[in-house]
Amino acid sequence: MPGPQWLKSSYSDSGGNNCVEVASVRTGVALRDSKRPANVFVTGRASFGALIESLRSDSLGTGR
């Protein structure tokens, strides 16, 4: 069985070595740092969607 298909963030640096990667997995959404690919965080789809929506609406107070 093949592993997850990792997608790099559109905010990755040009070398592709400094980015966040995401993958859809059976239990939800997996995230990892490209510099440390063995460290994987898995969260539910609803929680991941809420995080993305918060980032888009700047409700986390990032100022970006």
Across the chain, which has 64 residues, the per-10-residue mean pLDDT values are 82 72 95 91 96 83 59
Q: What is the pTM of this model?
A: 0.74
User: How many structural domains does the chain have?
Assistant: 1
**11 domain-assigned:** yes
**25 domain-assigned:** yes
Give pLDDT, residue 14.
Answer: 67
Give pLDDT, residue 27.
Answer: 94
**64 domain-assigned:** no
List, as one string, the DSSP characters of 5-52.
--EE-TT--TTS-S-EEEEEETTEEEEEETTEEEEEEEE-HHHHHHHH
**62 domain-assigned:** no
Give pLDDT, residue 59.
Answer: 72
- Token pair, residue 26, equals 């059976």
Q: Give the residue numbers spanning the domain of 52.
A: 6-57
**44 domain-assigned:** yes
**1 domain-assigned:** no
